[in-house]
Each structure stands twice: as structure tokens, then as C-alpha cells.
Chains A and B, each alone.
Chain A
Amino acid sequence: MKSRAVNTSIIAGLTGGVIVFLVMLASVPKTSAIPAFSRKYQTSCTTCHNNYPELNDFGEAFKKNGFKFPKDDETFVKEPPVLLGSKAQKEAFPGAVYPGEIPGFLPVAFRYEGNFTLNRKQPAGFVAQNGFTPRTDLFAPNTFTIISAGSFGQNLSFWIDDDISVDAANANGAMGDGWLKYSDLGHGIGLPKNALNVRFGQFELDLPFTQAKSIYLSSYDIYSETAVAGSLGTTNNPVIFGSPQRGIEFGGTPNNGNFNWSVAVVNGNNTGDVVRSSKDVYVRVSQKFNLERDPESRNAIQAAGPTGPRDHTSVRVGFYYYYGKNQQNQTGTTFPGIATTLEEPFYRVGGDLRFKYRHLELFGLGMYGHDDNHLFTPGPPAAIAVAPAVKFSGGFAGANYWFYPWLIGTFRYDAVNSHADFINGTPASQYHTRNRFSPGFQVLARANIKVVGEYQYTFGTPYTDPVTGNTLFFRPNTFQAGIDYVF
């Protein structure tokens, strides 16, 4: 009996390790800037992006206003919308369908991203233990995305993006976001503008730093960390913090957009059919402190700089909390002999900080993850006992600097500290399993064409020297360079 339990633990451990490794390799879906808006307003990408797809202050205001200019939107629209019923039809409601509108053009845009990868040469002992990785890989991932977004009148907006293909030829991608949002729900009860909005569908959570619209080639490691106990227990949580989820989100951006809140109820797993009955809850609040001295500039959508509009000098602090109950063994087959559903509550909690000053942006995020865990003994009699929780911590910090409007230097440090990862075969060191420095550069060859480079300097991964038998460490460093264009 004991050997069966050990075997089960080993299999679970290996499975967990593989899952964690795959999660590490998988990049979460990326969405992008919207050239459809460039067409609608006949304006350049730089109106909303200092470095697409990251939004500048104007782009944030545009997004918060339901993909409309924050003031006098109609005067800027170069392609008027098609009215689905005259505005006067409002008076006839409910005797008539409430009037709406659709974009006057087809709001579709496309994005291509392809990366060149150069891996550090692996020592023979490392290859023997971890498998061979080619030194170079041309244009992988190789992603083509279709994006559609816009507004359906005053309060309704929508977004859909789908990776038509990823990686190699004919490789199918998947939907990133697909949602409908109703803004300013509280207008009728006297709430400030956009203090209460609601969003339905599949969406990236209101993350402190967006993964879907990240400027970086590599994902934020802590966002893709999953809690898998492996040999340490039963925890096998499918939640990937940075991936889109299906659900409903209430949120708002009162106080001139400086305060942000959101509460989302989501499925709790990111791919395929829902795997449990309970829903997860995500809460986020953040406050931006606008540090502009001139009151007029402070209250404007963008600050008035001596050489043109720019983002406000500001500090944003935020807090987030994700809670759910992972459920396993609903059919009684995961843990044979146990008739009940195994519930394992978990949470992710953290805070974030962002500082913007002129051409400099500093940012950081910390996260702590905690999953209840159990130990399964196959028996007979089969038994479930409480085991030490699976925990991880980490985050990232970085800086971006605009040397020129088209040349941006980037730097990021990612840290993931997970004892479970180490035990389950994602080793670098016992406490720092996925730490790396990632300096890089981004060049806007045009407002819609980008060349991006990123070097990932990782911590050493242990392997056994085949000759001496000593434990050595190898840093699987990688350089990636990519092209990225949207149209």
C-alpha cells in the first residue's frame, strides 16, 4: 500500500512538473493596439499609445470612455456611425426597439508578431537531462491576430480579439478577449460619470499591469504561476492569473479616472469547459495620485509639457485579491475511494506601484499565492488528510525610458519563489525558481511597426556533470528579437 501511495505521488509530482513547465513556456494570449480606431478618427496610433499596445493617458481616458474621445467625440469621428433607429425612437420605447448604432466602417484590425530566438549553448550534461533545445528559432511564436473593437452608441462598447494562428504553420490560436461593456450604469441614480460599469464575456481581469497588452516579449512570470502540489499533495489549481477568464465584472473609474475599482465573478479556469460549480471573485482598487503642479494641466486629459502633451507625472498604488475554491474529484475518479468532492480554497493577493515622470516609467508588483492542500492516501481505506498549503510569492519590477519617442529602453526583473515548483521539477534554486533579469529595447520604426529585443538572463538550473558526477548550474539565457506590426 505504501508503494502505491509513493507511486501516485511520483506520478502526480511529474505531472505537476510538466504542467508547470508547460505553463512557463506558454505565453498567454496577447491583444494589441487598434488601427480600427486610427481609421475611425483618422489619427495616428501615437494619439493613444506612447509605445503600443501600452496606453498613454489619453488612451486610458479613451478606453474608460467606452472607446470614445473623452470630450466632443462626435466632432472627431471621420466616419459617422450607422444609426440603428433614430434617436427619437427612445421616446417610443418600450413600444419600439431602443435605438442604437454600429460603427460606420468595419472595425477590424490585424496584428502580426514574430520572434527570433537565440538560446545559449547547452552543455552536454544539461541536454542529457533536460532535452535538446535548438540554439536558434526563427519567428516563433508566429502569431496573427484579428481584433475588433468599438462602440454601439453612447454607453455600449465591445472588444474581440482572436489569435487566428500561433507558432508554426496552421497552428490554431484562441480567443483572447470577447466582451460587451455597458458604461455609466449609475448615471440614473446620480453617480459620477463612469463610476459604475458592467462588462460581460471573456476578458482579462482588471490586472494592475495588463498582460494581454504588454509591451514585452515575455510574459510576467508571476502571472503565469500555477499552484500544483505535485508530490506534496493534491493541489492542482487551473487558475492562471494573467489569462482571460469568462465572467461578469462590475467596475468604475470615478474621480476623473484617478480612482479605479472592479469586482469580477469568473469561472476560475481559463481554457475549455468550466471545471467546477463554484465561482471565483476578483477585487481590485487603485488610486492614481496626479502630481502635476499646474491645476489646469493636472485636470486635463494629458499634461501640458513644454514640448507638447505628455502623460501626467503620477504615482499609482493598487491592491488586488483573488479568491476561489478549487474543486476536484466531483466524479470520484480523481481520488478513488473518496466519494466527496475535494474543495481547496485558495487566494492570490498583492499590491502594485507605478510611477511616471516625463520619459521615465517605474513599476512593480508583488503577489502572494496560497492554496489549501491535502494528502491523498489510496488505501484501502482511501483517505484525505490536510497537508501543508502550497504557497508561492514573487512579482516583478522594472523601468522603461523613452530616449526618443521611437526608442525605448526596457528593463524588468521577475521573481517567482515556489518551493513546490522546485520539488516538482522546475528548479533553479530551492527558493527562487523562476527569477530573471530582462533588459531590452523597443524601436518604433513607424507608429504601427515595432522591432523589439529582449535578453532574458536567468538563474542557474542544476544538472549533473556526466563525467564527474558533480552538480553544476547552467543559465538557459535567451535573446529574443521580434517584429510586430498592426494595420
Chain B
Amino acid sequence: MSVMKIAANAAIATSLVLALAGTGKANEIKGKVSVQGIKSAGDIAVYIDAIPDKKFDPPKEPVVVDQRKMAFIPHVIAVQQGTTVEFLNSDPVGHNVYWPSISSNKKLAHNLGTWPKGEKKPFQFHDVGVASLLCNVHPEMSGYVVVTPTPYFAVTDKDGHFEIKNIPAGKYTLKTWSEDGKPTTQAVDVSGPTATVELTVKK
């Protein structure tokens, strides 16, 4: 193989990689959330805010929030708008799940009632916002469903790390929600394969 041919093949391969990168199939955001005045950097939802003129089909697969040992597990879950969440009761005691509002909109309050151990009760979240999950006989139980407008979201681990994958290239607005901190907003450019961001959530 001539040197010219090798160079041409390399150029084609490079172009393909660049072209794929351009479609955004493999882009991701990696980052870390730092906190000020908050006990933990864990359980903070990070998501890309609504993208103008872009609609997303809701996922077909439901996600599960468990009630186990008198706690909602996970404590914070982020879901795309339109997702069905199945609330499972794994305890031998009666629980119920209700939320008094979604992002302070009390018209969106809902009470799912009571169901026995091993059974689930589904609910499809159509409205963007945060539902505070409560149980009316065990007030120590609390959980959150963060309903995001896009399928690009994550919840931080205990050290504040997060990773959002499969993001098309573009410029977006990254938002956070945390139980104890104020929401933060930050612009992010996801034109390369990996965008790295540092966020700070303050009380």
C-alpha cells in the first residue's frame, strides 16, 4: 500500500470520526457538584433544561421507587417528563404515597392511597417540576421525583459526581435541583465528546 493510499484512508477515518462526533451520539457531560452550606453533595439532580423546538417521546419503560424499611428508595429520582413511576411497597406495614404539590403548584397534588407489600402503583408524571413524596402515617419518610423536560439528566453520587450520556452536540442550559440548596443554572457547550463542568449549589 502506497503512502498516499494510507494517508487517504487515515483522512477518511478521521472524517468519519469527526462526522460521528458531529451527530452527538457519543457526547456526554461529566461533572462534579460542590456544595456550600449543605451537608452532602449527593442526591442532587442535574439536567439539561428544555430545548426550544425539541420534543421528546416519553420513555416506555417505567421506573420504580421502592418503600423499604420506612424509606423511599432512591431518595431522589430524576425522570423525563411523561415517565411512569411505579411505587412499590416492600414493607409489611401500610404506607401511602402522596405529594402536596409539584414545584409548589398545589393543583398538581395527588394521593395514591394505600397498597400492600409487594404491590406497585403507577403514576405518569406529565408535569415538569419536583414532587415531594410523603407518607401520611410515617412523616419521617421523604423522597423526591424530579421531572425533567429532557431525557438528559443524572443524580449525583455521594461525592457530587454525575454523568449525563448520549447528548447531541449543542449548547444547552444545565440546571440543578437539590433538597436543601437553591437551584443553579449554567450554560454548557457539548460540542466535543466530553464536556466537563463544575457546579456549585448553595444553601
Contact = CB atoms under 8 A, between A and B. Distances in A.
A65 B93 CA distance: 14
A72 B116 contact: no
Interface string B56-89: 0000000000000110000000000000000000
B93 A308 contact: no
B93 A304 contact: no
A210 interface: no
Given A46-B139, A308-B113, A75 B69 contact: yes
Contact of A300 (B94, B138, B140): B94
A44 B138 contact: yes
Contacts, number: 71
B92 interface: yes
Contact of A309 (B92, B96, B111, B139): B96
Indicate the size class of the contact surface on chain A.
Answer: 20 to 34
Given A308-B136, A309-B137, A302 B94 contact: yes
Interface string A290-308: 0000001000111111111
B135 interface: yes
A306 B69 CA distance: 22
A404 to B, nearest CB: 11
Nearest to B117: A71
A69 interface: yes
A296 B98 contact: no
A43 B135 CA distance: 12
A241 interface: no
Interface string A33-61: 00000000111101100000000001000
A447 B136 CA distance: 12
Nearest to B96: A308
Indicate the size class of the contact surface on chain B.
Answer: 10 to 19
A41 B113 CA distance: 23
Contacts of A296: 116
Nearest to A56: B137
A58 B94 CA distance: 9
Contacts of B98: 307-308
Interface string A198-222: 0000000000000000000000000
A185 to B, nearest CB: 25
Given A47-B138, A71-B92, A309-B114, 8 more contacts: A44-B139, A301-B94, A302-B93, A302-B94, A302-B137, A305-B96, A306-B111, A307-B113
Interface of A: 41-44, 46-47, 58, 69-72, 75-76, 296, 300-309, 405, 447
- Minimum-distance CB pairs A-B, first 9: A309-B94, A308-B96, A71-B92, A304-B114, A308-B136, A302-B94, A307-B111, A44-B139, A306-B113
12 contacts: A43-B140, A44-B139, A44-B140, A46-B137, A71-B92, A76-B70, A303-B114, A304-B116, A307-B96, A307-B98, A308-B94, A308-B96
